[in-house]
């Protein structure tokens, strides 16, 4: 089947699913915890994190009854077959199991949300259980583009070494034109992994990383790769300790009642972020809504970046690259997915749903000047 591209029309819709009961108290506690450390706009660090700071956390706003409905829908749809559009999206934007969960949350909450491409390397690491970096980690994942930027003409040789060492897709600590280490999850602690914990170093901002020698990757990675898990296991346990990327949202629209973009820092923004994390956690036990660094929705949408900066970071320089719309996008509108590749297609998506695209993102004005 030929993959359908978004031209402002809905494609590949499937019927609503019924909802089963779940443990209200358990879900409510996940929701109550889900605001901790995942503030709106706090993590646009993947684009230009040095400009984005944490904003005050609002009280939980996703009711237990709604959380139960989201959880039920996510679990009921966990094994359904993907459409051709969804299968394409699952290769580079979000994991297939998370795509199904996001569909359930968006359908239950009557909202639309889009995502920038995570990349195959990040998705590979998420599949292995790696934590997702938040706003406080500013550096890039280890991938061909970042290797080229740091190593220049030596990048192909260095990248081959990285791939053999199996650390591509993790978030690197870079300095002095070389890779110095891998950012590590707080799960690495003195009680459970003492040897690894004492090997970690800190950046000037206080973030912990595992040091590597780019001229002896395997030798320098030996301690990390031999770290035992909670049951004494080795093997692949180490792969769930370094950070990888999160899911970067681009648009967030309320599709119930008055259709409109969700305002920056609003209760609706928090509610939708919580719903997404609760749905993902319902089918991925590593990523429960209370799992902190393992939550995949770490910040609000790129759409709200400028508004956030003007309210919360007055006087800070607004980054043009973040202020502009990014493409391609994977859009989920109340459970139906499409690929949006151009400003014209994004404008058509908004217009077909009676929503006004913000002026700076219109096709003729997809630029920014402060």
Quick one: pLDDT at residue 61? 59
Q: Are residues 84 and 171 part of one domain?
A: no
Mean pLDDT value of segment 240-265: 96
CATH number at residue 316: 3.30.70.1720
| Cα–Cα distances in angstroms (integers) from residue 177 to residues 104, 149, 174, in the given order | 44, 9, 7
Mean pLDDT value of segment 28-34: 40
Quick one: pLDDT at residue 273? 96
Q: Are residues 72 and 147 part of one domain?
A: no
To the nearest 10°, report the CA torsion of 217, 222, 226, 229.
-50
Taking residue 231's Cβ as centre, other Cβ atoms within 10 Å add up to: 6
Is 7 part of any domain?
Answer: no
| Residue 198, both tokens | 């004492």
Q: Does the pLDDT at position 261 exceed 90?
A: yes
Which residue would you say has higher pLDDT here, 93 or 230?
93
Quick one: pLDDT at residue 289? 72
Domain endpoint, select from 240, 265, 287: 240
| Token pair 């009854």 in the structure block, residue | 65
Quick one: pLDDT at residue 32? 38
Residues 6+ apart with CB under 8 A from 154: none
Is 28 part of any domain?
Answer: yes
Mean pLDDT value of segment 211-215: 98
Q: Are residues 349 and 253 part of one domain?
A: yes
Q: Are residues 282 and 355 part of one domain?
A: yes
pLDDT digits over 167-200, tens only? 999 999 999 999 999 999 988 999 999 999 999 9
Q: Is 173 exposed, middle or buried (0-12, 13-18, 19+ CB in 10 A)?
A: buried
Q: Does the pLDDT at position 91 exceed 50?
A: yes
Mean pLDDT value of segment 119-139: 93
Q: Does the pLDDT at position 76 exceed 60?
A: yes
**Using CA atoms, how far apart are residues 277 and 101, in angstroms rounded to an integer?**
9
| Residue 69, both tokens | 């409905």
Which residue would you say has higher pLDDT here, 191 or 14?
191
| Cα–Cα distances in angstroms (integers) from residue 35 to residues 59, 62, 66, 215, 298, in the given order | 7, 10, 16, 41, 10
Point out the least confidently predicted range of 128-132, 186-190, 303-307, 332-336.
303-307
CA-wise closest residue to 261 among 358, 345, 332 = 358
Average pLDDT over the chain reads: 84
**Using CA atoms, how far apart are residues 289 and 61, in angstroms rounded to an integer?**
14
Q: Are residues 346 and 292 part of one domain?
A: yes
Mean pLDDT value of segment 138-143: 93
Is 101 part of any domain?
Answer: yes
The residue segments making up the domain with residue 258 are 24-121+246-365
The confidence band for 127, taking pLDDT boundaries of 50, 70 and 90, is very high
Quick one: pLDDT at residue 9? 39
Supply the pTM of this predicted model. Answer: 0.81
**Using CA atoms, how far apart are residues 65 and 88, in angstroms rounded to an integer?**
33
Q: Does the pLDDT at position 315 exceed 60?
A: yes
Domain endpoint, select from 190, 208, 240: 240
**Using CA atoms, how far apart are residues 102 and 332, in angstroms rounded to an integer?**
8
Is 305 part of any domain?
Answer: yes
CA-wise closest residue to 210 among 234, 184, 190 = 184
Query: How many domains is the chain built from?
Result: 2
Is 130 part of any domain?
Answer: no
Q: Are residues 326 and 183 part of one domain?
A: no
Quick one: pLDDT at residue 189? 93
Is 17 part of any domain?
Answer: no
Which residue would you say has higher pLDDT here, 311 or 164?
164
The confidence band for 290, taking pLDDT boundaries of 50, 70 and 90, is confident
Q: Are residues 265 and 354 part of one domain?
A: yes
CA-wise closest residue to 298 among 322, 274, 320 = 274
Q: Does the pLDDT at position 122 exceed 70?
A: yes
Is 222 part of any domain?
Answer: yes
Yes or no: say if 250 and 301 are a contact pair by the CB < 8 Å rule. Answer: yes
Domain endpoint, select from 224, 240, 256: 240
Is 15 part of any domain?
Answer: no
């Amino acid at each position: 089947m030929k993959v359908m591209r978004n031209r402002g029309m809905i494609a590949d819709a499937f019927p609503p699913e019924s909802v089963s009961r779940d443990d209200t108290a358990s879900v409510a506690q996940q929701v109550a915890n889900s605001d901790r450390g995942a503030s709106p706009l706090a993590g646009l660090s993947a684009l230009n994190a040095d400009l984005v700071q944490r904003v005050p956390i609002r009280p939980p706003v996703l009711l237990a009854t709604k959380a139960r409905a989201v959880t039920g829908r996510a679990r009921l749809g966990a094994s359904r077959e993907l459409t051709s559009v969804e299968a394409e999206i699952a290769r580079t934007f979000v994991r297939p199991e998370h795509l199904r969960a996001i569909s359930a949350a968006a359908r239950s909450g009557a909202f639309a949300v889009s995502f920038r491409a995570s990349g195959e390397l990040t998705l590979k690491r998420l599949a292995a259980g790696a934590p997702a970096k938040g706003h406080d980690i500013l550096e890039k994942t280890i991938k061909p583009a970042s290797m080229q930027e740091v190593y220049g003409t030596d990048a192909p040789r260095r990248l081959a070494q990285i791939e053999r060492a199996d650390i591509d897709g993790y978030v690197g600590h870079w300095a002095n034109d070389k890779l110095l280490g891998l950012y590590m999850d707080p799960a690495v602690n003195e009680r459970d992994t003492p040897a690894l914990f004492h090997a970690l170093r800190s950046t000037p901002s206080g973030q912990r990383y595992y040091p590597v020698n780019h001229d002896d990757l395997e030798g320098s990675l030996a301690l990390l790769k031999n770290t035992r898990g909670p049951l004494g296991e080795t093997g692949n346990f180490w792969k769930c300790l370094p950070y990888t990327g999160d899911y970067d949202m681009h648009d967030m629209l309320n599709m119930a009642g008055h259709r409109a973009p969700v305002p920056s820092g609003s209760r609706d923004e928090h509610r939708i972020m919580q719903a997404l994390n609760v749905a993902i956690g319902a089918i991925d036990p590593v990523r429960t809504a209370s799992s902190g660094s393992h939550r995949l929705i770490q910040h609000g949408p790129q759409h709200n970046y400028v508004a956030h900066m003007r309210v919360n970071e007055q006087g800070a320089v607004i980054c043009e690259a973040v202020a502009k719309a990014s493409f391609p996008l994977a859009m989920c509108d109340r459970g139906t997915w499409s690929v949006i590749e151009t400003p014209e297609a994004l404008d058509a998506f908004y217009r077909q749903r009676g929503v006004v695209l913000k002026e700076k993102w219109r096709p003729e004005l997809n630029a920014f000047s402060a």
